[in-house]
Structures are given as C-alpha cells and as structure tokens.
Amino acid sequence: MAANETLLQAFEWHSTSHSPSMNKGYSTESHYTYLRRVLPSLARIGVTGIWLPPGCKANNSQGNGYDCYDLWDLGEYDQKGGRATKWGVKEELSKVMQTAEGEGIQCIWDTVLNHKAGGDATEETWAVEVDEEDRRIEICSPKKIEAWLRFDFPGRERDGVSNEKFLWRAEHFNGTDWDHRAQKRAIYKIIDDPFTLSNPSLRPDIWNDFMWMKNSGTKARTERRAGKGWAEDVDDQHGNADYLMFSNIDYSQSSVQDHVKHWGEWMVNDVGVDGFRLDAAQHFSYSFTRDWISVVQQASWKKRNRELFIVGEIWTDEPRCILDWLNSVGQNAYAYDSPLLYNFSRISEDIRKGSKSVDLRTILHDSLLELRPQSAVTFVTNHDTQPGQTSYAPIDSQLKSFFYAFILLRREGRPCVFWGDLYGTNGPYAEPPACTVRTANGGERNLLPDLIMVRKYLAYGEQKDYFDSTHCIGFTRSGVEGESKTGCAIIISVANKDTSTGDYRATKRMRIGKPGEVWVDILCEKEYRTETIIDAKGYGLFSCGGMGIGVFSRRAEADQFSLNLNLDS
C-alpha cells in the first residue's frame, strides 16, 4: 500500500523574509532559505508535499504574490523594486526544489491566473461601472476610462533576457477597479466600443435597460451585453463571480489563453513543479481552466510520466459550488474543503459560547469530505483564515489538535497542514504554534508533528466510525495485514466530563486489534500513557480527557512517537 500523503502550506500571510540584495543569489534570512533548511525535518515526520507561496513577481517587493505582476519573473528580473520576490530569488527557489526532490517532497506552485496588478502605464478603454453586489447590473452609461492595463515588463529588457515577449494591453482584460482619469475606485466592466456594435438597443444613450435604478425600487434587467464582458462559466457569487480584484484577465482572448498555457508548460518543463494550487478558481473561466489543466498534465506525462497534483481554491459554504467546478474541470482535480473548515469553526464557536447545539456528529455535514471524498483537500487553517484576514474563521487553538487528528488520520481526503499552526504566525495578530499541550515538567509540547507521524506510520486500512454521541466521537483504522502499517484508534471529546459516569474522562468502546493486545495513547508522555486491553470480542475501552483527544496504537509501535523533533533544522 502506498504511503499516506500530507501537504504543508509552507508559508503564512505574515511570514518574514529578507531576500538577497540586487546582485546576490542567496540570503540566509530569506523564506526560501529557511524553508530549504527545514525540509529534511518535515520529510522525517511525514510531509510529502509543500504548497509553495505565489512566487511570481508581485506589485511591490513585499507583496505576497497574490498581487501578481509578471508570471514569468520568479525573482530573476529587476522589476517592481528589485530582483527578488518577497520569498527570495530564483536561485534560492531552485535549491528549495532540488532539496525537496531529494527528500521525496513534491512542490505545488500557488498560481494566480485570475488577475494582474501593477500595470506599467495606462490605456484608454470603454467600460461601464457595475453594482458591487450584482456584477451583472450596469450602473452607468458606457464611457471611456483610463486604467493601468499596459504591462511592458521593462525589467526583462534591461536584463537582456526574457522568457516571453507577450505584452499585455487593455484588450486582454475585461475588468478593473481604478479609473485614473477620474481618480475613482469602482468595479469597471471593460466592454467593446458601443458604437461599433450592430445591436442598436445597446447605444450609449439607452443604457438604462441594463441598469438598476437604486432609488426607483425597480428590478434590474440582467441581459448580457453583446461583445466583451464577464465570463459566463464562473461561480454565481455576486450574480457573476468573474471579477475579484485588480485587472481581471479576459480568457475569451485566444492570445491570452495560448500565453498562459505556454507559461504552465514552462513551469512544468523548466521550473519543475509537481502541481498547481489555483488561486481564486471560482473567479475565472471553467472551460479555460479545464483546457489549461489538460495542457499542463500532458506536459507532465511527457516529461515525467506522471500526473500533476491540481487543487482549486473555491471559498464557499455551499458544496454545490465546489462540485460544479470539479465537474467542469474534471481530470482528477482536487478542491479545498471549505465547508468542512466552516464546520470546524462552527463547532469551535459553539463550544466557546457554551451552546447546547454542540454536536460532533455533524462534523462532516455537507462537506466535500462527505460528498466527494476522493476530491477533497482538507484543512484547519490557512493564510486566508488566520486572524486578521478576510476569510477569518475562528477556531480555538486547543481544538485545532482535535480537528487535525480528524483530517490527518482518516482514510478519505488529502490533508493540508498550515505553516502557522506548526511554527506560529507573525504580524499584528501573531500566535504561537497551535496544538500545544502542557508537559509534566511544566513545559509545552506541540502535538501536530506527532499527528503527522501517526498518519505516516499507522493510519492505514479500513475505517470504522463511532459517531454515536454529540460530545464524543471516535473512529478506527484497522491497519494493513502483513505490513508495519498497523492501524490506530482515535477518540475526540468536547465534554468537560462524561455525563454517563460523572468522571472527567470520556470513553468510547471500539473494535480494533486482537484479544489481549495492549493499546496505549501515543499523544501522552511515555510515563503517563493511558492503556486499554482488547477484550475477548476484539473491543477496547478507549479514553481521553473530557475536553481532549486520544490516539491509540499497539504498545510496540508507540515508542517511535513523542520524539519532540526540532523542526527548525
């Protein structure tokens, strides 16, 4: 049986990084250098893939990369304040990928294909303002605006090298958020010159047919304007989700499609990535995404005879939106299970508020893990949901260990661990590593590395769920006969005390192992490990603290855990 795979998001929003100066190819304090240093430790505990930050040149030297300026500049050209990206220079990236390959770790590239930022000059174009809540509704007559839609990439020419000569102009975009001439911020849909259209009903002087008169109380018509406009094959958030931010790329243009496909092939063939995380996947053409995935997969099969890992980011609590994307793009793509994350946050908040609605049996409700587990990338936190971010999802730090045990040790789904939960976060809402517990000598210990190791060594075989109590659930993994992957039993409790016994311990009777075997809680310190003996019928009575988790294995396998690995070297 193949080893379990575990993905690590290898950055957080406020990751510190001091990149090399202009003529240097290395810095001891860049994020790429630090990441390269910890890769061997990550491999030892069971990390098999890293989600790299968006390392294309951003709009400024400290931009995280979601404000993407130049797809082809991975820290190579003197543009936007320097040669390096926030994360480092291309030479350092290459060393990260070489080290990762040597450790058996795949590199997944965070890919921003929805928009571009930081144009080099303005261009004049026809546009209409649209309603922020329903992007199908035009709220002004067609007019000419001056927008930063010209991308010349002068740094490439100064350095005398360039991977790609394609230059972006106004015709390559269908939306933007700033009219430089009017000094006005709004959502502008870029359109064709209305005087060139054959349909007379679209003359500029009768634009009211497509307008919501906000003060009239009338409903808007949402007929699609002929010619250039939003992509239709996107999510229906805000009526049409094509526009998200910055300068929105128009994938109806064949030249744009060819250019971005060529970039994807370059990333596979020359840079050597093992997969792509598609940022804002619900906001750009699903049909183009399907074609793009096909192109990069063909490149991977031709070069390495294996499939790339592709995962889309779709922020929603409605699983139908994720399923629509998966059905549209096909080709074994994955999606992040945001509904599962929202379930975690809901349960955490119910516990914090002392709500009587706490019910662990609903943990999978309407999640991708429940509806299409083979396509789910599960996670507890990421850079968008950490404190202070736009999609902040509050989850108690102690409870994170419960939810990580849930996603890491189950059979279905591909779990993704957050850098900030393993190493802590920086910034105005800085937090220490999550999943820490007090030790007997008064110190602290992070359970997350051990949970990843349990996934690596023990969490195999058939799964049996015991979701029979609102405040305490459990499940078992039977292991693989004849292999060292011997299985485990997991109990999760969010009750201060077991209401059936009055004891501040939770118990769950589960079937696992063989009669007479001793199973111990490997998350406990060795001297204090809880034990259970499997009875004649093959059942053990597994226990944990009333507000706690227990992960049990055969006693013989337990000693490889609680190693307190130094993950900083």
132 residue type, one letter: E
Cα–Cα separations (whole angstroms), residue 31 to 68, 125, 304, 348, 435: 18, 40, 28, 32, 23
Q: Does residue 104 contact residue 59 with C-beta atoms inside 8 Å?
A: no
**Cβ count within 10 A of residue 504:** 13
Q: Does residue 249 contact residue 171 with C-beta atoms inside 8 Å?
A: no
- Return the H-helix or E-strand segment holding 174: strand 173-179
Q: Helices (H) and strands (E) in the chain — how many of each?
A: 12, 26
Alpha-carbon torsion 505, 511, 514, 515, what sign?
Answer: positive
Catalytic status, residue 233: no
Distance CA 428, CA 58 (A): 22
Catalytic status, residue 279: yes
Strands 472-477 and 488-494 come out as antiparallel
Q: Which of 92, 313, 337, 421 is catalytic?
A: 313
Instruction: Give 390-449 as a 3 state SS string.
Output: CCCCCCCHHHHHHHHHHHHHCCCCEEEEEHHHHHCCCCCCCCCCCCEEECCCCCEEECHH
- Return the H-helix or E-strand segment holding 325: helix 319-329
Q: Which of 67, 92, 138, 279 is catalytic?
A: 279
Contacts for 10 with CB less than 8 Å, ≥ 6 apart? 35, 50, 51, 52, 53, 419
Q: Which two three-digit tokens encode residue 129?
A: 């303002």
Q: Does residue 316 contact residue 235 with C-beta atoms inside 8 Å?
A: yes
Q: Which two three-digit tokens encode residue 549?
A: 């988790």
Nearest to 88 by CA among 67, 103, 98, 73: 73
Nearest to 9 by CA among 109, 138, 80, 150: 109
Distance CA 4, CA 463 (A): 14
Contacts for 198 with CB less than 8 Å, ≥ 6 apart? none
Q: Which of the residues are catalytic?
A: 279, 313
